[in-house]
Amino acid sequence: MLAAHHLAGWLPLGAVDAVLALAGVILGALAADLLTGVVHWACDTWGDEHTRWVGPGLIRSFREHHDAPRAMLAHDWIEVNGQSAAGASAVFSLLALPAAQDWLADRVFVAALAWSMLAAASLANQNHQWSHMPAPPRWVSALQRAGLILSPARHARHHRSPYTGAYCVTGGWLDRALDAAGFWRALERAITRATGAMPRSESLWSAPDRSTERGARR
């Protein structure tokens, strides 16, 4: 509802503002893909389940997902989306404050980018769960085939040895470019040089996930 409230606040848009809003929406979705990729990479690469604050919940859930990729299919909507939805709602609420609305009023591109990034990131866990479903709803399959959300084929690469790529789970749009550029390994080297910490102190491994084979055959 908060996302719809902000979206309605843009209307009507002139031709120039419509182009700026469209550009903001596209870049915001890509930013969400990168953000979810960074979180996923960080949880797969650094620390363990005993890491303060994030270990018992966030890191542990990502590591367990490698052991049992389809276990998340047993989780209900709140378990899958509750935290991300709460976080997005909190930020949308802040953006609804009069001071924020006044600042965004003449900044259509920034408003659209922020809206798209929040909306897309809040759906990332759901997109991730759908990518592991053997038979998702038809409309979800249609969105996956169109490349609008994370597809089984895109995400399958993350569950193949050595399990060190394809981290983005909003749409997976940036995965190939980031992996080809060596982005994650460069980031790891930079952190190791700065802190002395070594990545992946625990070996990551994954059980075969038949749901991704379905997508890979498409």
Q: What is the pTM of this model?
A: 0.87
pLDDT at 122: 95
Indicate the burial class of 201 (C-beta count within 10 angstroms; 0-12, 13-18, 19 or more): exposed
Mean pLDDT of 106-132: 95
pLDDT at 213: 44
In this predicted model, what pLDDT tens digit does every residue of 73-113 receive, in sequence order? Answer: 999 999 999 989 999 999 999 998 999 988 988 899 999 99
The structural domain count of the chain equals 1
Q: pLDDT over 90 for what percent of the chain?
A: 68
pLDDT at 206: 43
φ, ψ of residue 123 to 5 degrees: the values are: -95, 0
Residue-number span of the structural domain to which 25 is assigned: 2-216
pLDDT at 177: 98
Q: N- to C-terminal Cα distance for the chain?
A: 35
pLDDT at 201: 56
Give the separation between CA 12 and CA 67, rounded to whole angstroms: 49
Mean pLDDT of 169-189: 97
